[in-house]
Amino acid sequence: MNLEKVIFGFFVVLAATLNFGFFIGDIADPALHNIFELFAAVVVNLIATVLKFGDRTQIGAVHLATSLVADLQLIAAATVWAYAAATTAGPLSAAATSSVVSLSGGALLANLVSVTLLLIETVSFHRR
Between 90 and 8, the higher pLDDT residue:
8
Question: How far is it between the farthest Cα atoms of the chain?
Answer: 61
C-alpha 10/C-alpha 52 separation (Å) is 12
At residue 54, φ and ψ (nearest 5 deg) are -80, -20
pLDDT of residue 126: 67
Angle between helices 94-123 and 3-23 (to 10 degrees): 150
The answer on pLDDT for 99 being more than 90 is: yes
Q: What is the pLDDT of residue 38?
A: 96
The structure's pTM equals 0.91
Task: Report pLDDT digits (tens) over 9-23.
Answer: 999 999 999 999 999
Q: How confident is the model at residue 128 (pLDDT cuts 50, 70, 90)?
A: low
